Structure 1
Amino acid sequence: MGQQPSTPQPGKQLRVIGAGLSRTGTASFSAALGLLLDGPVYHGGTQTTLGDPIEIKSWIRIIRLWLNPSPQDNESARSMMKDRLDGYVAVTDSPGGQFTPELLELYPDAIVICTVRDPHAWFKSMGQTAGLATLWFLRVVLLPLPGMRHFTEYIKALTAQWVRVYGKDWPSVELYHQHIEWLKEVVPEERLVFFDVKEGWAPLCKALGKEIPADIPFPRLNDSAAIDRVAQYHVRRGLVRWAAGLAVVGVVAGYTWWA
């Protein structure tokens, strides 16, 4: 997960489709792309949880339309997807990675870069994310928040997307390998690059035809810490709003009783 939501810049064209699974260094990858391509990057996890409410609501709608077998709904999903990504130089993280075939149709000149890591380490890391997303009290706590009140609904949509693409709804080492093979099937070989953020600038710059930035270290962002911070931030906001709302109700009730 990235650190702050990005703002689109008019005239910027999408040049990279980040097809790596969440928790494969997508935050560091996004920051690096932003520097190399000189523009905003749409990191799905960040935009949907920290961006305007329209972000998370739009992707729920896009996934639902895409799941529908109707050609008209599928076309509407593509149109909405293009609107969301207008003004960005790259898209990374979910749900974009699972929309790679659709994004290739929308952006025929873009290349696909899949961030990779040790599958077992990825599986362990994903357990943390899945656990946070399925906390039973989350729906109630997030209800007062305009965008995040849709978070559990969004997770259900992502789960349905995974079932459609992979035939399963829970992370596993097997699914990690399945994702890699799926990309090899749906992306032309000459447009598919695999990249481990541990390797730093050199392979990424080579794939993009860019010079290695002078005196700029490769971004090293901690996805785990970022997810923890975002989760704590929203839970805290939700609880504060619940407390404020209950306090107002208490004051009104007390006044009514006194009157």
Structure 2
Amino acid sequence: MGQKPSTPKPGATIQVIGAGLPRTGTSSFSQALEILLDGPVYHCGTQSSMGPPAEIKGWIPILQNWLKGDPASRATMLPLLRRRLAGYVAITDSPGSQFIPELMELYPDAKVICTTRDPVLWEPSMMRVQSLTGVWFARLALLPLQGMRHFIPYGHLLAAQWERLYGGVSGYHGRETYERHIAWLTEVVPKERLVFFDVKDGWGPLCEALGVDRPPDQEFPRINDSEAIERTVKYHLRRGLTRWAVAFAVLGVGIAAFSRYW
């Protein structure tokens, strides 16, 4: 979240399923995959927050059908998920990291790579993200924005998905969530298909996992997700509040003109 959205490339298909939770270096990981796989990567946070309105709106029926949990809803969801990811070489971040069984079914040849982080350090970082995206006036502030007006209902669906997978108190996901996610992955992903990767280790382990050569004379991407997320949240809130201010200004002019007329 907070980087530039990717544009799908005709004919590209998912080669890597990113299984790491948000705040585990998913932005750096995404940029590294774009270099190694020579194609666009679908970073869910960035696509939904900075992409066209169809991005965030497209995830809502996918999540709704997943939450229903019955075979018919799953059969409806899978084509929607495939359509959302058409033209991308990899998917990272949430909710992709919660759709691992479905993504493995859709892309049986894709490698599953989970970005990792010390759970003790991950917890306050995740809490910071939750506090930024949960400001009390966000629903009203984002209402004038064509895509981001869907952010709050989208966020509620994400929260419901996390609660179903990991349990815990609503709206709170600390290190226990991180540990439950890792345990869940080891249950649902065959051992030979699952790779754990810390972005601090750079190109070596990732290139080895993908069976590709290390890019010559190119540093591993280092992106500060927290700063990017904060910039994105402030950007959208500022846009929404500005549009409200313009709307009220126009309304005020209209009322004044009406009063003078009568």
2:196 maps to what in 1? Answer: 194
1:212 maps to what in 2? Answer: 214
Provide the rounded CA distance (Å) in 1 between the counterparts of 2:69 and 2:135.
32
1:40 maps to what in 2? Answer: 40
2:126 maps to what in 1? Answer: 126
1:81-230 maps to which residues of 2 (within 5 A)? 81-168=81-168, 169=170, 170-230=172-232
Q: Name whichever of 138-147 and 160-169 sits farther off.
A: 160-169
Provide the rounded CA distance (Å) in 2 between the counterparts of 1:33 and 1:156.
29
Provide the rounded CA distance (Å) in 2 between the counterparts of 1:70 and 1:251.
53
Gaps of 5+ in 2: none
Cα RMSD after superposing both structures:
0.9
Provide the rounded CA distance (Å) in 2 between the counterparts of 1:214 and 1:90.
22
The answer to whether the Cα contact below 8 Å between 2:2 and 2:49 also exists between their aligned partners in 1 is no
Provide the rounded CA distance (Å) in 2 between the counterparts of 1:239 and 1:2.
19
TM-score by length of 2: 0.97
The answer to whether the Cα contact below 8 Å between 2:127 and 2:174 also exists between their aligned partners in 1 is no
TM-score by length of 1: 0.98
What's the CA shift string for 1:224-255, capped at 9, x where partnerless?
00001001100110111011111111111111
1:236 maps to what in 2? Answer: 238
Provide the rounded CA distance (Å) in 2 between the counterparts of 1:20 and 1:71.
26
The answer to whether the Cα contact below 8 Å between 1:52 and 1:147 also exists between their aligned partners in 2 is yes
Q: Name whichever of 14-23 and 2-11 sits farther off.
A: 2-11
2:31 maps to what in 1? Answer: 31
The answer to whether the Cα contact below 8 Å between 1:201 and 1:218 also exists between their aligned partners in 2 is yes
Provide the rounded CA distance (Å) in 2 between the counterparts of 1:163 and 1:106.
24
SS at 1:62 equivalent? helix
2:54 maps to what in 1? Answer: 54
Identity percentage of aligned residues:
58
2:69 maps to what in 1? Answer: 69
- One-letter amino acid of the structure 1 residue matched with residue 123 of structure 2: F
Provide the rounded CA distance (Å) in 1 between the counterparts of 2:112 and 2:184.
13
1:248 maps to what in 2? Answer: 250
The answer to whether the Cα contact below 8 Å between 2:2 and 2:232 also exists between their aligned partners in 1 is no
Gaps of 5+ in 1: none
Note the C-alpha offset of 1:150. Answer: 1.0
Distance 1:142 1:233, change over 3 A: same
1:8 maps onto 2:14 in alignment: no
The answer to whether the Cα contact below 8 Å between 2:16 and 2:90 also exists between their aligned partners in 1 is yes
SS at 1:7 equivalent? coil
Distance 1:11 1:213, change over 3 A: same
Provide the rounded CA distance (Å) in 2 between the counterparts of 1:251 and 1:103.
53
Note the C-alpha offset of 1:2. Answer: 4.9
Provide the rounded CA distance (Å) in 1 between the counterparts of 2:184 and 2:34.
27
Note the C-alpha offset of 1:69. Answer: 3.1
SS at 1:193 equivalent? strand
Aligned length: 259
Provide the rounded CA distance (Å) in 2 between the counterparts of 1:63 and 1:39.
26
Provide the rounded CA distance (Å) in 2 between the counterparts of 1:157 and 1:133.
14
Note the C-alpha offset of 1:70. Answer: 3.2
Provide the rounded CA distance (Å) in 2 between the counterparts of 1:24 and 1:2.
15
- One-letter amino acid of the structure 2 residue matched with residue 83 of structure 1: R
Provide the rounded CA distance (Å) in 2 between the counterparts of 1:244 and 1:174.
45
Note the C-alpha offset of 1:219. Answer: 0.3
